[in-house]
Structures are given as C-alpha cells and as structure tokens.
Structure 1
C-alpha cells in the first residue's frame, strides 16, 4: 500500500512538473513572440517613410485642378554635375518629386527620363534597392496606367528609404526626404503663383508646416553631420515662416516670403 502511495505521489509530481513545464514553455514562447512583435513594430516605425511623400503632395495639386507646367522640374541634364554624396542624395529626392509630378500628369517621356536619372543616382549612392531592373520592367508594362505607376514608384521610394535606414545611412535618407519635400513645396508654390484662384494650393502649402517640423526634428540628432547641418541651416528661414502660420491659410506676405525662400533653397541645390 505504501509503495502504491509513493508511486501515486511520484506520478502526481511528474504530471504537475509536465504541466508547469508546458505552461512555462508556453509563457516563454508568448514572451518571445511579444518581444519579437515589439522589435518588429519598433523596426517598422524607424524604417517607415516619416512624412507625406511627394506623390501625396502632387496628387493633392492634381485634384485641386492644376495644369502641368513644362520646364518647372530639375532638368535631367543636371544629373552629371552632382559629385558629392550630399548632392546626389538631395537630388535623388528632388528628381523623385519630379518623377511624381510627371507620373501623376501622365507625361510619359518625362516619367521615363526622371526614372533614368533616379536609377543613376541610386546606383552611384550604392543603394541596392528601390530603382531596380524589375522596376523598369514594371514601369514599361504600366506606362499607360497612372494609378499603377504611382503605387510602383511610391513603394520604390519606401524601399529606398528603408534600405538606407537599415544600412545605418540615416543621414543620407534624411537628405533624400528633404530634397523630395523641397521640390514638392517648390512645385506647389510655382503653381500657386500662376493660378487665378490659388486658394487650394495655398492650403496645401500651409499644410506643409507639420511635415517640415517633423523633418527638422528628425535631422536635429544628426546635426553633427556637416551635410545635415548645412541643409538644416538652409531650411531654418522656411521654418521661421511656417512658425507664424496658423491653420490652413497663408497671408500674402507669408506666401511671398515662402516662395522666395523655397526657390532660393531649391535653386541652390539643383
């Protein structure tokens, strides 16, 4: 009887140990999954394009009824004069906005031209993502489908940005983002200048206050990088104008000053 009781105790302990071990494994697995999920979420937050893309800005312009202005973009012939890493990165952003502009307005030849220079700059910056041979094939297949092209190019820009961040080239990624933002605002300001009724375009410009603030916030921790600091100094007068903007309106004086400053900065970079 005693042996039977002892055996029962051993069996019970074994069963309890199995249960606890199983629960422990399950909890450990859940903890690992939670930790992995947190890491993945943090990674996604870090590598997500931080402000509205130039495609989003250009689409707003298009919906507001703006016509395509020939000659407003950075000439593709300029690509050969960008020798420094900073110039290449900033103008990759600028050409990216021009690509968004030409794509949205279905300017096929301009789209192919801007795609070509973007690809060239990506290669010169050794970014092994974004503007790939597969992208070129997709563009050719969808050249008549504006919506598909916008998705293709937007995803390409996301991938380029993500790759730069993953490869610890955050400074370069910010230069690309800044270039794209600058060109988007420049194009919008030029359209607002030439439009009879520029109410909607002024609203689009006013709404760029938050993206610029976010961009400057992201650049601040890297202000010790000369190229980033130089660009921050160039953008500072523009931010000073935006700091006085309230809501979705710009006064005539604010618009004139913004247009002058963004044109000066943009022309200095291209």
Structure 2
C-alpha cells in the first residue's frame, strides 16, 4: 500500500518537476544532472502491479475516502493562471487516486475538470486533444489508464517547457505534490495499520527539498515565488524529521501544515 500511495504522490513530481530553466551551457549540463537526481530520489519505491495494489489495499484495510478529493464543483472558482495550474495538479492527483481505486465515475469527473483546466491554460497538444476519449475507452483497464495519465503529464510538461511556460509546470507539480501528501496524511489518520503510511510521509522530506529547490531556481516568476512562500509551513514541519521514522508530534505538525497549505490552494 505504501508503494501505491508513493506513486500517487510522486507521479506529477517525477514527470513535471524537471522543468527548471537556465542561461548557459554549463548550467544546462548541471541541470541535466539535477533532473536525473530528482527522478532517482523521487522514485524511491517501485511502482506496483494492479494485483499488488489490490493485495496491499486488502491488507491495510484502507478504503477509498470520497471526501478527500477536491470537489469538482470548485473548478469554476479558479480564475488566475496560478490557481488553475495549482489545482490542475490537485485534480491530477485526485484523478490518479480515483483511478487507482477503480472509481469509474469519480475518475471521469476528475478527468473532465482536468481537461477543462488544460484547455483554459491553453495547453494545446496533440495528445491532450484525445486525452478524455482515451481515458473513457480504457476506464476498465488500470494498466492502460495509468499509462495514459502518465503520458498526459509528459506531454503537458513538454508543451509548457517548449513554450516558455516552465513556471506553470512547477505550479502543477506543486499542487500535485501537496495533494498527494495530504491524501496520504488523511489515510494514515483513518487506517489502524498506518506505519507504512508514516514511512511514506517521512520519506517525502527528500522530495520536498527538491520541490523547494526547483521553485527557488524559478522564483523570478511572481507566481512561483508566492507558492514558495506558501510552502514555508511544510518546510518547517519537516525540519526535525530524520530518516523514515515520525514521532506523533512530527506527524501532527506535518498534518497541520499540509492541511493549511492545501486549503490555501483549493480555497
């Protein structure tokens, strides 16, 4: 189960967090190394098969929690590009969460709002034009659905990078990371056997460091700089965490910080 939840958290990070820009060949070479390092550190756990996911879910007794996801009705509240990009990340994490649990209607609902935000952000790629149709056609095939969602992230990242919109990619990544961590924290609260969840949360300290580093490198964008400041409570909450163990106090501090930041994003 902790592998599956790590996948939800890391999906957008691994695929979109590598969107830093630089101005020299030397910087580009260093950046390539940083990108590879981000992916190595983020993808710490192997992605499990659907059967492994089902077995882990049964063992952990962690049911799908309907109230965790950001309501689709809120999508019309997001007016600025910043809010749209952050919540595209949030809804993308919700889409992954719902599809992993085989929640067909919820998956289609989150697909719809993701497509709406993609269109409004003018992320017009060949893949995205058929994204909704492909998801609907593969709604009963978890493996195919995972590949389609992953390809959409890759395609979206490439479009943003190639069209001078790196900052939007960072915002999408940030929204996805927060939502994935929020989901894991809330499941940990409601699951009796939650040690694996606590381990997943503790391991996000390394991922957070990379997320903050990427934002720091791109804070010439006002939207990224504001998001970097928004993440400060989470950074402080993770400071005392060492290794893979969380104390009760550390968990509560992280839970409170993530809730605060997530609420500021979803409004």
When residues 266 and 61 of structure 1 are mapped into structure 2, their CA distance, relative to the original with a 3 A threshold, is farther
1:45 Cα shift? 7.8
The aligned residue for residue 97 of structure 2 is 101
Q: Deviations over 1:59-98 (max 9, x none)?
A: 9987463210011100000000100000000000000000
1:179 Cα shift? 0.2
Instruction: Report if aligned partners of 1:122, 1:131 keep a CA contact under 8 Å in 2.
Output: no
When residues 250 and 130 of structure 1 are mapped into structure 2, their CA distance, relative to the original with a 3 A threshold, is farther
Task: Summarize the alignment of residues 98-247 of structure 1 with structure 2, pairs less than 5 Å apart.
Answer: 98-129=94-125, 132-247=128-243
The aligned residue for residue 77 of structure 1 is 73
Q: Distance in 2 between matches of 1:267 and 1:163?
A: 28
TM-score by length of 1: 0.77
1:103 Cα shift? 0.4
When residues 130 and 256 of structure 1 are mapped into structure 2, their CA distance, relative to the original with a 3 A threshold, is farther
Question: Helix, strand or coil for the counterpart of 1:248?
Answer: coil
1:134 Cα shift? 1.9
Question: Helix, strand or coil for the counterpart of 2:102?
Answer: coil
Who wins on radius of gyration, i.e. which is larger?
A: 1
1:147 Cα shift? 1.4
Instruction: Report if aligned partners of 1:222, 1:228 keep a CA contact under 8 Å in 2.
Output: yes
How many pairs align? 230
Gaps of 5+ in 1: 1-38
Instruction: Report if aligned partners of 2:138, 2:145 keep a CA contact under 8 Å in 1.
Output: yes
The aligned residue for residue 20 of structure 2 is none
Q: Distance in 2 between matches of 1:188 and 1:75?
A: 18
Q: Deviations over 1:126-184 (max 9, x none)?
A: 11137623222221221111111011101111211121111121111100000000000
- Segment of structure 1 superposing worse, 244-253 or 101-110: 244-253
Q: Distance in 2 between matches of 1:266 and 1:185?
A: 10
When residues 52 and 179 of structure 1 are mapped into structure 2, their CA distance, relative to the original with a 3 A threshold, is farther
Instruction: Report if aligned partners of 2:38, 2:210 keep a CA contact under 8 Å in 1.
Output: no
When residues 216 and 162 of structure 1 are mapped into structure 2, their CA distance, relative to the original with a 3 A threshold, is same
The aligned residue for residue 91 of structure 1 is 87
1:49 Cα shift? 8.5
Question: Helix, strand or coil for the counterpart of 1:83?
Answer: coil
The aligned residue for residue 257 of structure 1 is 253
When residues 210 and 48 of structure 1 are mapped into structure 2, their CA distance, relative to the original with a 3 A threshold, is closer
When residues 162 and 47 of structure 1 are mapped into structure 2, their CA distance, relative to the original with a 3 A threshold, is farther
